[in-house]
Structure 1
Amino acid sequence: MQNLAIDELPGGDNFSDVTSIFIDAAAHMEPGGLILREGFTLQDAMSAFEIGEPRLDSGMVVEEEERPPFDVWAPLLPQEICWIIDRSFSYEMLWHAGNPLAHTVFTCLYALVISEMHADVLPYGLDHDALRPPQLIPVVLRASICGLLKCCDLSWRELSKGHVHDAEDWQSDKGDTSLLEGMSVQNVIIGLDVATNWLLKSKKVPDPWVTALVARLNLRKALLQTIDANIFKSTSVFLDLINIARNHLKTVRTYPSPNLAPTSAAHLAFDPYIARTLNSTVPIRVIDVPPITETWDAIDALLDGWEEQQLLSQTFNVSTWELAGNLRVWLPNPPLRIPYIRSSTQSVFYDGLLVLNKYNPTWVMDRFFFETLGVSYQSVIQFVEQNTQSTRPQPWADLQRGHFKLMTEYIRALWYNPCRRRRYFMKALVDLHIYYTRLMAVTSTMPDLQSTHIMKHIPACALVWRLSVVREVVLSGFQLELYTSEEKPFAYWYASQVIEAHLACLDDMLLAVQPDCLADREMRFQHSFLTALQAMTIPMFALSMPLMSFAWQQMHANFLRRYKWAFGRGYDLSSVPAVAAPDFDNFTNVCGRMLQDETFSPSDSFKFAQSILTPLIESRSAGGYAGLWTDERIQLLRNLVGACQRLQDVPSSMAEMPSFDVGLLKWDPQINPWFPVLESEGAERRRNVHVRRAET
């Protein structure tokens, strides 16, 4: 090919070396620093791939990230095998916590070459080392990694049902990498048994590490069997598997994970940057592995979730299911279950065909009326049909279908993540109101009944359900830290109004329900609980009023945005107004009256609430449907008593409010989901002020 003349070169030859200019300009920059010009866009960031910017180009390998080639057959000590297995458990729990597989499980390089790890393909010429038996890799480590991948596969199948949200609760991206979808669970279990037998019989591994490795293999086997078990086929077997796993976990804790030298070959078994070689679009993120004790705690929490799931599968009161779901959010301990447990719990309740694996929609309707009023669905139908004054047939079929859809979706939503849970509740409020108005229409065809007649309160069943959901929507805003300081007074005031409507409804229903039945005991507990809760929300409304700017126009605009769920178009379909709808105008009037109320005492209100809650705790009267969750419901009451005690040093009258420092109120959902704490030194100052005033 003929060479080009210099004057024919594209762009000419008038180039100058400007390297020194850039060196001088960057002299004062820190290593790794980055300067972005004004208007830096996504297009500019994407073009960095072409220039090899390591923070944006996942395919670029910088010097400190270079690793020697991975040798799947590199001999390993038993303690190194133990360390790899423990670390794989950690990455599995990190995946369950919501991280991608490419950043957790698949960083174990053995998981990517599992198809090559067979004992019959051991390469010839391996150095004979009595301390590093070659069978440790194709027998022991392979069995453990297969168990890991199969556990992830079965978990992935449950999570992919859509009960929890991909990319929000969990990450479904497999990066085109196998989770042993084609291998049966039984084959994996056989491999684990073979590995256990080899460790026990070969005598090639020292005793301490034999026990440690066998315990880890048995733990993996028990976890796999539990994931694969049908909870309804044999609940006793399911519970036995959980107990077996607990015993193996206890043994694993007794034989802690070894501390390896930095030069150990086991460290090469994990590559945190492996995502660059997988078909993954997620940017690489190196996840710090927590201490191994946190991993065992996470597995213990997983077993707790399964145990609660087993108890729920034998619980046939829908109200108890509702309580259990609420307690998981209201109580900080135990923490929220991992997405896998929350998804499988929803599947246990309703699999898309039957409730609790055997009940049809009629059963759900029957439980609703029985648990609320103590009457059966059939008795409701019979009474209405016999006493209706309408010639038109009642829409029982439509009511049943609508109720079944509402109930199953509502119970499932109790196991959503807190944000999704609240969002679903807000959307469901319209349907609950429509359901309430339809029950009102049914009862309107009957003659007027006495307030002591149970059938008069049929619509109230839907109303108390809806009011409890409204209360949860409002109070969950504190737990999720959604409210600005200016929004908190209205939230507390509105919560008290919703509770007031709920209490009025319970007062009417208690006149008719049969005394001392389960529904009666539950209602009486709810009445006491809500009375105490109202006695706490009203003083919080008064105490938080100084947080407001009293710029009513701006506050009203914020109110409309925050409570838009209460003014949706769906309410226009009903001629019956929504009960306890938020009313900003009423709120502004109440603010003025509260500031002038000389008889109201915030501190006495908290003491009154405590006087209601304490007897409930001491008598352990947790209502009719608490069941096996009685202790946790009592713990909720204790937490509320603790909130009352922390707030008893607030002003004793509204006259003292000008001297109260509202900045001392600190909201921390980890202490209490709904109410703040009063800072200790602030509480001490309040006590001193009270003493000085008493002396004066």
Structure 2
Amino acid sequence: MDILSLADLPGGNNFHDVTSIFTDAAAQMEPGGLMLREGFTLQDAMSAFEIGEPRLDSGMVGAEGERPPFDPWTPLLPQEICWIIDRCFSYEILWHAGNTLAHTVFTCLYALVVSEIPHDVLPYGLNNDALRPLLLIPIVLRASICGLLKCCDLSWRELSKGHVHDTEDWQSDKGDTSLLEGMSVQNVISGLDSATSWLLKSKKVPEPWTTALVARLNLRKALLQTMDANIFKSTSDFLDLINIARNHLKTVKSYPARDLGPTSPAHLAFDPYIARKLNSTVPIRVIDVPPVTETWDAIDTLLDGWEEQRLLSQTANISTWELAGNLRVWLPNPPLRMPYIRSSTQTVFYDGLLVLNRYNPTWVMDRFFFETLGVSYQAVVQFVDRHTQSQRPHPWADLQRGHFKLTTEYIRALWYNPPRRRRFFMKMLVDLHIYYTRLTAISMTMPELQSTHIMKHIPSCALVWRLSVIREVVLSGFQLELYTSEEKPFAYYYVSQVIEAHLACLDAMLLAVQPDSLAEREMRFQHSFLTVLQAMTIPMFALSMRLMSFAWRQMHANFVRRYKWAWGRGYDLSSTPVVASPDFDSFMDVCARMLDDKAFSPSSSFKLAHSVLAGLIESRSTGGYAGLWTDERMQLLRNLLDVCERLQNVPSSMAEMPHFDAGLLKWDPQIHPWFPILESEGAERRRNKHLRQLGGGS
């Protein structure tokens, strides 16, 4: 066996410089070029962590990553402290927007060393500067950073409950970095109070920077206290915290931090490439920080979400919760809440044990029948048990447990992100049909009742719920821009058929429900609202037929794929026919009849919808359960009214359809989630002319 000398071992002195070999080989390559061998795959690329290619090696430090060393004790001006605090607020909002902590909050290097900065103590040997008081760092900046990390910690704890989805709505990866999990909220608040007191008493910071810093510390304190508050313990205190935060936010906006020059040492407090030093597997991503005004707007929206959450915590109507959740998706303003608010709202509704921190499953069942039919659950049970012809007792306990699970999951799903929300609804439809089947079976054990008897309509309670969910599944496809041009006609046609079944249910139930009750007023609003939607979806079906190729075989294949949720295996467990199941064959027949129906007028249908909407808006008739969301439900009606006005110039009869350009229909979810706008022909001609000019007249 040969014995290796020291020179033969790694680290010896017999290395040869081979740089020239690689330089010569890459002489004809462009800077930034990448040469791939045959068969080089994505897996090969993801495995190449040590080859020195910055696009594949997240640990490589390029020229942009070279920076002077960070010294947390570098003296800073008060305006530089303000700028750092504002930027931390911006990064916190960016984390809530779905980015990782390593690319947002942890890019603030003070957040990584805050535990090493003692409170109110300075290292020996630092020179003091009247313009840059050194105590700003251990007192003011440290308190603000601790507040930031504790807010992130409380947010992380809420988001990790599973009400929203990790890597889909938010990023949970901490990179093995502390969010001050072991520090109590009260200790952080004490630090913020001490910093505020020092600023006001020491007089070491001149105005306006004292006021600016105090406002930022107080804003952080109010946000932290609101996150830590129990909304059910005292809703008035919760509202006070929100109002306090709004006042401090207003002051912060009035005292903006100045833009810093490129030589300011405050810039060194942030390292966008810090992820390479953290225990993170996510590739480096430098995120542009939005203008600070957008950050303040986002915090204002956060406060709006808390305020709505407070109102919901005091709302004991399931129908109102349902409306509030739907409005967050149906209306573009206010926008869908950030994941933290959506998660905490779900926690407010159901904490895993009780609904609204005080109600049990029996209460949920009682609200279901009361809000739908105007009768209590106990009245339903007593009537059925007294008049049943079945020898077996009805499984009310199982039915109640199943209903409780359905309701809590459904209300929470209203605060999912839109794609997840739609997928949940599609899966839920099977359970709703089974629930409808069980109520139908109970109803069939009773003697035949008159249509004016309220107990005859017990199964309809589940049916109208299921039909509402189907309508939302189909219409949300427009909002999520899922449908191709050929799929849109069937979607509008199917919605009109679902609404037809829903209206038939309401017509029957209105014969029995107590007049002028909350249930009756809500039912009448729903009847008018659905009439409007049907008067809009039918002409949209006719207008969008122009987008179809009428290649029935391909369209049927797309139909089966898009509506596969309507034929799940769970439906085989029920002998009750499915109401309003999608039917492609009937769609083909209706298309042929619609093309031959020269009397049908799309424009007249929109005028009818416009008339009904105008009446609802003028009378402010918004149903029995709109409650504090009456104005927003009214805005929903106004948005539909705008759609009718935009589409008033569509053909007045099917005879004019051959001359209608369906390409003028433009679907934009930012304008309306379900219906298109109609581009004017003049605007279209101007746009085409402009495109020809850009193309050099070709």
Shorter-normalised TM range:
over 0.9
Deviation at 1:125, TM superposition (A): 1.4
Contact 1:242 1:306 in 2 (8 A): yes
Structure 1 residue corresponding to 2:28, chosen from 18, 25, 28: 25
Q: Aligned letter for 2:441?
A: A
Query: 1:50 aligns to what SS in structure 2?
Result: coil
Match of 1:83 in 2: 83
Query: 2:486 aligns to what SS in structure 1?
Result: helix
Match of 1:502 in 2: 502
Distance 1:164 1:22 in 2: 51
Match of 2:167 in 1: 167
Match of 1:690 in 2: none
Deviation at 1:73, TM superposition (A): 0.5
Match of 2:379 in 1: 379
Verify: 1:447 aligned to 2:447, yes or no. yes
Query: 2:167 aligns to what SS in structure 1?
Result: coil
Match of 1:573 in 2: 573
Match of 2:50 in 1: 50
Deviation at 1:18, TM superposition (A): 5.2
Distance 1:641 1:20 in 2: 68
Deviation at 1:40, TM superposition (A): 2.3
Contact 1:215 1:249 in 2 (8 A): yes
Deviation at 1:227, TM superposition (A): 0.2
Deviation at 1:4, TM superposition (A): 9.5
Distance 1:679 1:498 in 2: 29
- C-alpha spacing 1:582/1:175, structure 2 compared with 1 (3 Å): same
Q: Aligned letter for 1:597?
A: D
Moved more, 35-44 or 390-399: 35-44
Verify: 1:405 aligned to 2:405, yes or no. yes
Query: 1:222 aligns to what SS in structure 2?
Result: helix
- C-alpha spacing 1:134/1:510, structure 2 compared with 1 (3 Å): same
Distance 1:682 1:588 in 2: 34
- The residue correspondences of 1:72-471 to structure 2 (distance < 5 A) are 72-119=72-119, 121-471=121-471
Deviation at 1:675, TM superposition (A): 0.3
Deviations 1:129-153 (A, max 9, x none): 0000010000000000000000000
Distance 1:635 1:127 in 2: 61
Deviation at 1:294, TM superposition (A): 0.2
Query: 2:50 aligns to what SS in structure 1?
Result: helix
Verify: 1:536 aligned to 2:529, yes or no. no
Q: Aligned letter for 2:265?
A: A
Deviations 1:401-445 (A, max 9, x none): 000000000000000000000000000000000000100000100
Query: 1:390 aligns to what SS in structure 2?
Result: coil
Deviations 1:44-94 (A, max 9, x none): 314542320011111111123201111010000000000000000000000
Deviation at 1:546, TM superposition (A): 1.5
Structure 1 unmatched ranges of 5 or more:
6-12, 686-696
Deviations 1:535-587 (A, max 9, x none): 00001101111211111111111111100000011000000111000000000
Tell me which stretches of 4 or more aligned residues in structure 1 moved more than 4 Å: 1-5, 15-21, 682-685
Query: 2:483 aligns to what SS in structure 1?
Result: coil
Distance 2:466 2:372 in 1: 13
Deviation at 1:121, TM superposition (A): 4.5
Distance 1:20 1:200 in 2: 63
Query: 1:169 aligns to what SS in structure 2?
Result: coil
Contact 1:219 1:248 in 2 (8 A): yes
Q: Aligned letter for 2:28?
A: A
Deviations 1:4-47 (A, max 9, x none): 99xxxxxxx9x996557545522xx3x32334445321343145
Distance 1:299 1:242 in 2: 11
Contact 2:88 2:108 in 1 (8 A): yes
- C-alpha spacing 1:286/1:441, structure 2 compared with 1 (3 Å): same
Distance 1:467 1:257 in 2: 53
Deviation at 1:627, TM superposition (A): 0.3
Q: What's the TM-score, normalizing by structure 1?
A: 0.95
Contact 1:650 1:683 in 2 (8 A): no
Q: Aligned letter for 1:25?
A: Q
Query: 1:315 aligns to what SS in structure 2?
Result: coil
Distance 1:2 1:35 in 2: 38
Deviation at 1:122, TM superposition (A): 1.8
- CA RMSD between the two structures: 1.6
Deviations 1:76-129 (A, max 9, x none): 000000000000000000000110000000000000001111145521111120
- C-alpha spacing 1:20/1:295, structure 2 compared with 1 (3 Å): closer
Distance 2:624 2:172 in 1: 41
Contact 2:108 2:269 in 1 (8 A): yes
Contact 1:102 1:174 in 2 (8 A): yes
Distance 1:351 1:48 in 2: 45
Match of 2:648 in 1: 648
Contact 1:664 1:682 in 2 (8 A): no
- C-alpha spacing 1:618/1:178, structure 2 compared with 1 (3 Å): same
- C-alpha spacing 1:37/1:644, structure 2 compared with 1 (3 Å): farther
Deviation at 1:3, TM superposition (A): 9.9
Moved more, 222-231 or 123-132: 123-132
Match of 1:71 in 2: 71
Query: 2:357 aligns to what SS in structure 1?
Result: coil
Deviation at 1:619, TM superposition (A): 1.2
Moved more, 118-127 or 107-116: 118-127
Deviations 1:222-241 (A, max 9, x none): 00000000000000000000
Distance 1:437 1:47 in 2: 54
Q: What's the TM-score, normalizing by structure 2?
A: 0.95
Match of 1:475 in 2: 475
Query: 1:486 aligns to what SS in structure 2?
Result: coil
- C-alpha spacing 1:656/1:327, structure 2 compared with 1 (3 Å): same
Match of 1:692 in 2: none
Deviation at 1:174, TM superposition (A): 0.5
Distance 1:240 1:63 in 2: 50
- C-alpha spacing 1:682/1:474, structure 2 compared with 1 (3 Å): farther
Match of 1:583 in 2: 583
Aligned length: 674
Distance 1:654 1:36 in 2: 59
Q: Aligned letter for 2:571?
A: Y
* Percent of residue pairs bearing the same amino acid type: 83
Deviations 1:159-182 (A, max 9, x none): 000000000000000000000001
Query: 1:485 aligns to what SS in structure 2?
Result: coil
Contact 1:153 1:180 in 2 (8 A): yes
Deviations 1:233-287 (A, max 9, x none): 0000000000000000000000012100010000000000000010111111000
Distance 1:616 1:214 in 2: 49
Distance 2:55 2:476 in 1: 38
Query: 1:25 aligns to what SS in structure 2?
Result: coil
Contact 1:257 1:292 in 2 (8 A): no
Deviations 1:517-547 (A, max 9, x none): 0000000000000000000000110111121
Distance 1:207 1:55 in 2: 47
- C-alpha spacing 1:53/1:620, structure 2 compared with 1 (3 Å): same
Distance 2:145 2:213 in 1: 13
Contact 2:196 2:214 in 1 (8 A): yes
Contact 2:119 2:142 in 1 (8 A): no
Q: Aligned letter for 2:225?
A: Q
- C-alpha spacing 1:251/1:120, structure 2 compared with 1 (3 Å): closer
Contact 2:120 2:135 in 1 (8 A): no
- C-alpha spacing 1:56/1:136, structure 2 compared with 1 (3 Å): same
Distance 2:172 2:500 in 1: 45
Match of 1:9 in 2: none
Distance 1:636 1:281 in 2: 44
- The residue correspondences of 1:607-622 to structure 2 (distance < 5 A) are 607-622=607-622
